[in-house]
Structure formats: structure tokens, C-alpha cells
Structure 1
């Protein structure tokens, strides 16, 4: 895809269906990982595409396992966002992310509580997305997240009662 897209080209692109996972611990900390593919630390929560045959909750269980090694039986489901939430990628990123086919993502978010010990988290389980992780307060993660995702994180945290 061309490196330059007009605003009209961008507006015509669809959103990529995706799921995000808010994994909390018993103390109310929120799991955040720093991405392996960034030059400077970029913290985020697990997320990924929803396959055609999956519900958001099924995709959340699969993505959490792939990215953290945590299986569904090591968590307790708490809630899911009522509707899709969207965010747009920065225009300069669109041509290079997901083959330039999407303007951003539409996401359902699932909140689970980790019921296993912290040492069950294995960032090298399958898809190595994170180089490090920590439990953060939701307010602190809002400061650390890349700016173009900040509004969607704030909406999710508000809907889930974390801020």
C-alpha cells in the first residue's frame, strides 16, 4: 500500500474486529505488558483480532493464553463491554499496520481476574508480544499507554469501574 493516504482514503477503511483483555489481580492491579516491537517502552493490555468463528469472549481466552500463558481456567470472568469501542491509528501508521487494510480497531473488552499465582504468567508461551509486565493502577496505565489508545482505555476503565 502507498505510504500516503488521503483523509478520504482513511475514512473509507473499515475497523479491524478485535478483543482487549483487562486482567486484574485480587488487589485491583491491572496487567500491563511492554511491547517487544517498540524502540521505547510501550505499555498495553493484551489484545488481538477476533477470528470469524469466535465470540469476543472466546477470542479473549485465546489471546490471553497466547500472550501471557494464562488459560481460561486460571481466571474468573468478571464482565464484558456492552458494545464495540473504536480507535483510529495515527494516519502515518495506517499504511504499515495490518497491510494498510484498516483505519484502526473496533474492540470488545473482557475483564477477568487472575486466580493463579503471578508466576503462572509466561510471556514466552506462544506469541511473544511483551518483553516485560507488571501490575499497574488503571490511572498509571492511562499515562503509559500510547496517546492514540488513551481514550479507549479510559472508556473501558470507566465502564468497568476502575477509575
Structure 2
């Protein structure tokens, strides 16, 4: 995929439990019933995997030693923000995100998840079957989630 300066660089993690269910959180800032997997932007000088572990801990309280890296998606995936959101997010600088995605296994217990973090992004969380993800996410990210499910089908 060609580099495009109009996309914010980020990462995402599809985190599986022992039953091959995926972790999702319900965003605090969304009035709709929108659930998503952990994701976030890459800070200057940071590598994608390092970012993924940082974001996961910041959003879920899960420390990196409770995460096993299973697979990386071979390409960066993009989503475009709807026009009505572009001026509201990230200071209007980006038209969407271009993300590196990682498939990981959660090695901990339910009690190791703590969304009451320093800067909470979610007000609740749950484990769901992977095939339900596109129905839970905001519409503009559905194709990206479908691509992840299709690519990692053998693990799900």
C-alpha cells in the first residue's frame, strides 16, 4: 500500500482468549452500542509491536507479559472516517487510519483485565466470537474487521 500522509499511523490487536473469543470494549465516547478491539496511534520513534503492547495496557490494563504474539497481518489496513467525523477527531488532520494489526493470545485471567485505567476509553468489555465483530463495530470499520477475520480464520 502506498504511503499516504493523510492517514494516521496506528496499530490494532485482536486478542483471543483460550476459547478463541475476541476481546472488545465499548467506547466511552460513543453513544451508539459500538464495540471495538484495542487500537491506537504510533508515537514518534515507536515501533508498531511496541505500540500495540502499550495501547493494550493503556486501554485494558493487561500487561505485556500476559500477551503472546501469534501472527502479524501482512499488510497495513486502512479505514476512512466519515466526512462528519473528520473535523472532530485528531484535530481534523487525518482522513482515517492506516494500521498494523497483530493477532495475540491472552495468557491471563478475567481479573487481569482492568478498563479503569488512567485515561479510560471503554466503559465495559466482553469476549465475543470473531464472526460477530463486524456487527459490533462502527460501520466505517466493518470492512477492516472482515478482512482480519478472513485472514486469520485458521486461528479463530
Residue in 2 that maps onto 1:106: 98
2:144 is equivalent to residue 134 of structure 1: no
Residue in 1 that maps onto 2:60: 68
Residue in 2 that maps onto 1:118: 110
Residue in 2 that maps onto 1:50: 42
| TM-score scaled by length of structure 2 | 0.93
The CA distance in 1 between the partners of 2:76 and 2:132, in whole Å, is 24
State the structure with more CA Rg: 1
Which consecutive residues of structure 2, in runs of 5 or more, have no partner in the other structure?
none
Q: Which secondary structure state, in structure 2, belongs to the residue aligned with residue 92 of structure 1?
A: helix
Aligned residues: 152
The CA distance in 2 between the partners of 1:35 and 1:160, in whole Å, is 24
Q: How does 1:36-47 map to 2 (within 5 A)?
A: 36-47=28-39
Which consecutive residues of structure 1, in runs of 5 or more, have no partner in the other structure?
1-11
- Provide runs of 4+ in structure 1 moved above 4 Å: none
| TM-score scaled by length of structure 1 | 0.89
